[in-house]
Structure 1
Amino acid sequence: MTEIAQILGESPWRLNRQRKGNAVYHALKRAILLRELKTGDALIEQQIGGAMGCSQGPVREALMRLEQDGLVTRRGYQGTAVSDTSAAEAAQMAQIRIEIETTGIKVATPIADPAKLDEIAALLQELEAAEDRLDSYAKSDLDREFHLAIFRASGMHALEPILRRCCLHMHRFTFGNAHRAGATAANEHGRGPGREQHRAIFEAIAGGRADEAAETMRQHIKSVIAYWAPDLKDAMDGDG
């Protein structure tokens, strides 16, 4: 059983930084994505509230948001626990993500205006800064926002919640891979293969090269999975 009080007590998401429910949500999401909290770990409201210094109301609010993300399972009188995302499920999500994003970027590239390009460029800067300071959780959040900002430019808003969930659950395998993250931090200054690819994606969009942007996006997602989550790559290869 994971010691939740210790994990949350050391979380950078403290209550003086933001609204209580949001702080609890980010502290728990960070612990789940980085695998500090494991599949099946019980999430007891009183313990979480004590660790975060708040009442059970904000904790309940955070758990409801995490349930919507699919990161926890609420089991009635049995309580709430960290959910499981199997490699097979994540492989399907990865394939769905690739199709949604490559379609979206082809639509978005010809119509991306200067304001949208500025937004994407700013997110790219923030993402690289998080990578430089080895902040895996901020990198995870900013990576999703970078990809979602590109997709939003396509105007296909009904697909955005699906894409967001696919990205989030893939990150349990990539950003949550502590062994790979440790090796990368020690040997490669915290950088995997995505940094140059992100820049190449942005440059293709800015240059109006839709097909190049889509293919670079496809190869980016696949190479990140291959590097950070070989088990997920194996599951995808097994699907043919």
Structure 2
Amino acid sequence: MTEIAEILNDNAWALARERKGNVVYHAVKRAILLRAFKAGDALIEQQIAAAMGCSQGPVREALMRLEQDGLVARRGYQGTLVSDTSAPEAAKMAQIRIEIETTGIRMAIPAMTSRKLDEIGGLLEELEGAEDRLDSYAKSDLDRAFHLALFSASGMHALEPILTRCCLHMHRFTFGNEARAKGVAANDYQRGPSRDQHRAIFEAIAGGRSDEAADILRRHVEAVIAYWAPDLQTAMMDGP
């Protein structure tokens, strides 16, 4: 029990003013993305509730959201288990992500409003702040928020859940990659190739340069995969 409590409360990312279900959701999602919980680990409602100091209702709500994300799976008598994302699956999702995002950013730029641009710029500043704090989980969440905010301006709302799932499962290979972290300085480990590319994407969008923004975005996703998850890069090259 002590170990589960330490995992779920590590770095206390959630704030007390949030709904308890949301607190539990982020605590468990953080543990999965940063690999404190491994694929196949059982998530027992009573244990999580005790560790988080809540009833089982918020835990059940959080696990249902995580099931929708594809991060956990209900397995009948086995209960709820942390799901697995294979390298071939993640490789295909990364390819789909690149295709959706580069198309979306070309459609988004002509429709971009000053309000939307301000929103994206604000997310970029928050993301850079998370990088400066060396906060992997906040960086993961804000990275997805930044990319999804870009895409939402395209108006292709039916594709947003697909893009969300692709980004989330790609992050299972890139964020919290302990094997990649070995021998890498902490600041380089947290930042990788992302920061300058995010800023370049934003500047290309602000300047209305669709082709440039799409090209930088593609190179950004490919660079993140190459830097953080060479095994995923290999799966992309080996795939059909």
What interval of TM-score do these two structures reach, taking the shorter chain for normalisation?
over 0.9
Q: CA deviation at 1:6?
A: 2.9
The Cα offsets for residues 44-103 of structure 1, whole Å up to 9 and x where unpaired, read as: 000000000001110000000000000001112220010000000000000000000000
C-alpha distance in structure 2 between counterparts of 1:5 and 1:202, whole Å: 39
Q: CA deviation at 1:184?
A: 4.3
Q: CA deviation at 1:113?
A: 1.2
Instruction: Return closer, same or farther for 1:155/1:172 CA change in 2, 3 Å cut-off.
Output: same
C-alpha distance in structure 1 between counterparts of 2:189 and 2:62, whole Å: 33
Instruction: Return closer, same or farther for 1:189/1:38 CA change in 2, 3 Å cut-off.
Output: closer
C-alpha distance in structure 2 between counterparts of 1:218 and 1:6, whole Å: 38
Partner of 1:56: 56
User: Pairwise mapping of residues 185-204 of structure 1 onto structure 2 (< 5 A)?
Assistant: 185-186=185-186, 188=188, 190-204=190-204
Displaced runs of 4+ in structure 1, greater than 6 A?
none
Contact 1:184 1:192 in 2 (8 A): no
Is 2:221 the partner of 1:221?
yes
C-alpha distance in structure 1 between counterparts of 2:165 and 2:211, whole Å: 25
Q: Which amino acid aligns with 1:77?
A: Y
Q: Does 201-210 or 171-180 show the bigger shift?
A: 171-180
Unaligned regions of 5+ residues in structure 2, if any?
none
Partner of 1:16: 16
SS in 2 for 1:39: coil
C-alpha distance in structure 2 between counterparts of 1:228 and 1:124, whole Å: 20
The Cα offsets for residues 119-144 of structure 1, whole Å up to 9 and x where unpaired, read as: 11110000000000000000000000
Partner of 2:131: 131
Q: CA deviation at 1:3?
A: 4.0
C-alpha distance in structure 2 between counterparts of 1:228 and 1:30, whole Å: 18
User: Pairwise mapping of residues 126-205 of structure 1 onto structure 2 (< 5 A)?
Assistant: 126-181=126-181, 183-186=183-186, 188=188, 190-205=190-205
C-alpha distance in structure 2 between counterparts of 1:93 and 1:194, whole Å: 19
Give the length in aligned residue pairs: 239
C-alpha distance in structure 1 between counterparts of 2:14 and 2:63, whole Å: 17
Q: CA deviation at 1:18?
A: 1.3
SS in 1 for 2:174: coil
SS in 1 for 2:40: coil
Is 2:70 the partner of 1:70?
yes
Unaligned regions of 5+ residues in structure 1, if any?
none
Is 2:12 the partner of 1:35?
no
Q: What TM-score, normalized to structure 2?
A: 0.95
Identity %: 75
Alignment root-mean-square deviation, CA:
1.6
Instruction: Return closer, same or farther for 1:89/1:214 CA change in 2, 3 Å cut-off.
Output: same
SS in 2 for 1:188: helix
C-alpha distance in structure 2 between counterparts of 1:50 and 1:42, whole Å: 15
C-alpha distance in structure 2 between counterparts of 1:185 and 1:20, whole Å: 35
Q: Does 10-19 or 32-41 show the bigger shift?
A: 10-19
SS in 2 for 1:61: helix
Contact 2:134 2:187 in 1 (8 A): no
SS in 1 for 2:21: helix
Contact 1:204 1:213 in 2 (8 A): yes
Contact 2:181 2:189 in 1 (8 A): no
